[in-house]
Structure 1
Amino acid sequence: MTGADDFDAALRQEAQRWLTVRTNDGQTPISSDELLDFSIDGNPFRLMDAQRGIRKPRQLTSALSIRTVYSADADSRPYADEVGSDGLLRYKWRGDDPNHAENRALREAMRQGVPLIWFFGIAQGVYKPIYPIYLLWEEPEHQQFVIDPDVARGIVSPGDTVEEHVRRYILRETRHRLHQPVFRATVLRAYEKRCAVCALRHEQLLDAAHIIPDREEAGIAAVRNGLALCKIHHAAYDCLVLGIRPDLVVEIRADLLEEIDGPMLEHGLKGRHGQALMALPRIRAERPDRDLLEERYAAFRAAG
């Protein structure tokens, strides 16, 4: 192994270790400014390119990281248009030239089988790092690479017909390793770490809830299909005990309003009936989508 190979391996390992510490084991997003704090061997080192989607340092022979910028208007899962029939993710070339330097850098990372970092935008200049990810193969006809968040290596090969149980496994693990962390970070950031129903601020007690569940076609992983909810209100929302009208007013199922129980039912649920949401994103494009709320509210009404 050459000195350059040693540095490459050490850099990738140290970068992932540093990100784990700085993001509290993935719980806290990181800003582009904070990323400038990283150094190796006492020297500052950029982990993410400030202008480009692909970071290929001059000291390395292949790419180190890729980046997806945040858009509040996204109307699909972060990777919805990039999932193949095998359940794996895709990442587009830079431009349409296969020999562009950044595409060559990704191709070399694929050839070497080295781990990369995916900086997924959850706000302007704020990212959720996903790592390690690997490039499995290239699809030149679609101008893209196949990405694996360390799930499918050794399980699938290019051109294979993937059995349904394998595809379900890949999708489930990818959702766990990429979709859920990105969705949670995006929603909690938009709601300023407050429960939409009761304004509870303790992050450990908050979830990112889907208005329409992600297993359904309309269950997009965009912030407008999300609500920051404390665990009790999330559970109540999921089981249709609690509903949210399209005008952002809370309702509690009629039979529970007749029950007599302890303070949680009395104040935590019944007390919110007919009340407006207490926390909403400041950015209008990040607020709950009225059509999605209406669809879910119809299910709540039917359950009652």
Structure 2
Amino acid sequence: MWDGELDARLRRELMAWLTVRTHDGAQPIGTSELADFMFDGEQFRVLDRQRGITKPAVLPSALSLRTTYRSPGQPLPYDDHIGDDGLVRYKWRGDDGEHWENRALRAAMRAESPLVWFFGVGPALWQPVYPVFLVGEEPAEQQFIVDPDVARGLITPGSRVEEHLRRYVVAQTRRRLHQPVFRATVLRAYEGRCAVCSLAHPELLDAAHIVPDSSPRGIASVRNGMALCKLHHSAFDANILGIDPDLKIAIRPDLLAEIDGPTLRYGLQERHGEHLRVLPHVRAERPDPELLAERFAVFLAEPQAS
């Protein structure tokens, strides 16, 4: 007979297992690999392939929720978004609040149970984010309020929040939810290689925003991203390295004139004038030329060292 203690242990063990399998969240996990999860010596289903909410029959409430992957340009099945209080909204299943999936989420909310949110970052590929908690419901908007474990005790969901606190919660929500999903989506699109030098060690790669996420146009979309190694990401962020809308690399002129060691020469100076070496095979996932043009204008305007 399942009780609260067994339910809590299952959730702890699932999250510990996901931590190991995803290398502490650095890598996504496939649908088939999720079937490997065992609890007390038996396979245990943690993701429903047909439904957005997973509630195994033995549990009193939902165990996980998911957001399905859609190719760039395709609409998402649900409008999940950040609210005015900085927390995320997750839409009901359908428009019936008493649908069993909505009841399963409501039960998890009342029990304050931690859930796993699986974000699709490619076909049959998921970035798990955990723990997340359902901390409120807005029936008029047919949605639940999700806290990715950043605001518990800080704010009351749905209430007016001072702007500085809202900015903090939004920033932490993006860090916990959007950044891991963005990284996994971009690295998958670039097949785990740096766009500039084709380095193929994921632990040395970042998902770089073309237009910074602090900008209104800096959305966490694969078309606003590139896989870059640590060196080229830092150079790109510092406007030492620029990439024009034709995917051609430029190095700031004062850096080209410097004489230093092999890192400067081979890592940066010899990249000047080259085109990106690695691009997504799917054209719809390649960098947006308009965003590249916007960012390249900033690079060109960067003052040079005297």
What is the TM-score with the length of structure 2 in the denominator?
0.94
* Equivalent-residue separation in structure 2 for 1:3 and 1:212 (angstroms): 49
For residue 10 of structure 1, give the secondary structure of its aligned residue in structure 2. helix
Which ranges of structure 2 fall in alignment gaps of 5 or more residues? none
Which amino acid is the alignment partner of residue 239 of structure 2?
L
Residue 221 in structure 1 maps to residue 188 in structure 2:
no
Q: Give the percent of matched residue pairs that are identical in Structure 1 and Structure 2.
A: 60
Residue 288 in structure 1 maps to residue 283 in structure 2:
no
1:273 corresponds in structure 2 to: 272
Which amino acid is the alignment partner of residue 47 of structure 2?
M
Which amino acid is the alignment partner of residue 19 of structure 1?
L
1:235 corresponds in structure 2 to: 234
* Equivalent-residue separation in structure 1 for 2:258 and 2:136 (angstroms): 58
202-211 or 217-226, larger mean C-alpha shift: 202-211
Residue 184 in structure 1 maps to residue 183 in structure 2:
yes
Contact kept? 1:75, 1:222, Cα under 8 Å: no
Aligned residues, how many? 302
* Equivalent-residue separation in structure 1 for 2:167 and 2:219 (angstroms): 18
1:20 corresponds in structure 2 to: 19
1:70 corresponds in structure 2 to: 69
Q: Deviations over 1:2-35 (max 9, x none)?
A: 7432321121111111111111221221100000
Structure-2 change in CA distance of 1:75 and 1:224 (3 Å): farther
129-138 or 161-170, larger mean C-alpha shift: 161-170
Which ranges of structure 1 fall in alignment gaps of 5 or more residues? none
For residue 227 of structure 1, give the secondary structure of its aligned residue in structure 2. strand
Which amino acid is the alignment partner of residue 58 of structure 1?
A
Q: CA deviation at 1:75?
A: 8.7
Q: How does 1:240-251 map to 2 (within 5 A)?
A: 240-251=239-250
1:195 corresponds in structure 2 to: 194
Residue 91 in structure 1 maps to residue 90 in structure 2:
yes
Q: CA deviation at 1:159?
A: 4.2
1:102 corresponds in structure 2 to: 101
Q: CA deviation at 1:157?
A: 1.5
1:154 corresponds in structure 2 to: 153
Contact kept? 2:2, 2:58, Cα under 8 Å: no
Q: Deviations over 1:164-187 (max 9, x none)?
A: 222122112212211111111111
Q: How does 1:157-172 map to 2 (within 5 A)?
A: 157-172=156-171
For residue 212 of structure 2, give the secondary structure of its aligned residue in structure 1. coil
* Equivalent-residue separation in structure 1 for 2:192 and 2:225 (angstroms): 13
* Equivalent-residue separation in structure 1 for 2:202 and 2:157 (angstroms): 42
Q: Could you list the runs of 4 or more consecutive aligned residues of structure 1 that deviate by over 3 angstroms after TM superposition?
A: 74-77
Which amino acid is the alignment partner of residue 122 of structure 2?
A
For residue 131 of structure 1, give the secondary structure of its aligned residue in structure 2. strand
Which amino acid is the alignment partner of residue 137 of structure 2?
E
Contact kept? 1:64, 1:117, Cα under 8 Å: yes
* Equivalent-residue separation in structure 2 for 1:221 and 1:45 (angstroms): 32
* Equivalent-residue separation in structure 2 for 1:80 and 1:65 (angstroms): 18
* Equivalent-residue separation in structure 2 for 1:106 and 1:37 (angstroms): 24
For residue 177 of structure 1, give the secondary structure of its aligned residue in structure 2. helix
* Equivalent-residue separation in structure 1 for 2:158 and 2:146 (angstroms): 15
Contact kept? 2:87, 2:157, Cα under 8 Å: no
* Equivalent-residue separation in structure 1 for 2:26 and 2:202 (angstroms): 10
1:298 corresponds in structure 2 to: 297
Q: CA deviation at 1:76?
A: 10
Contact kept? 2:92, 2:144, Cα under 8 Å: yes
* Equivalent-residue separation in structure 1 for 2:261 and 2:2 (angstroms): 67
* Equivalent-residue separation in structure 2 for 1:211 and 1:234 (angstroms): 10
Q: What is the RMSD of the two structures over their aligned residues, measured on CA atoms?
A: 1.8
2:205 corresponds in structure 1 to: 206
* Equivalent-residue separation in structure 2 for 1:272 and 1:160 (angstroms): 51
* Equivalent-residue separation in structure 1 for 2:84 and 2:75 (angstroms): 17
For residue 134 of structure 1, give the secondary structure of its aligned residue in structure 2. strand
Q: CA deviation at 1:95?
A: 0.7
Contact kept? 2:80, 2:90, Cα under 8 Å: no
Which amino acid is the alignment partner of residue 182 of structure 1?
V
* Equivalent-residue separation in structure 2 for 1:80 and 1:299 (angstroms): 32
* Equivalent-residue separation in structure 1 for 2:129 and 2:138 (angstroms): 22
Which amino acid is the alignment partner of residue 178 of structure 2?
H
1:254 corresponds in structure 2 to: 253
Contact kept? 1:194, 1:229, Cα under 8 Å: yes
Q: How does 1:131-142 map to 2 (within 5 A)?
A: 131-142=130-141
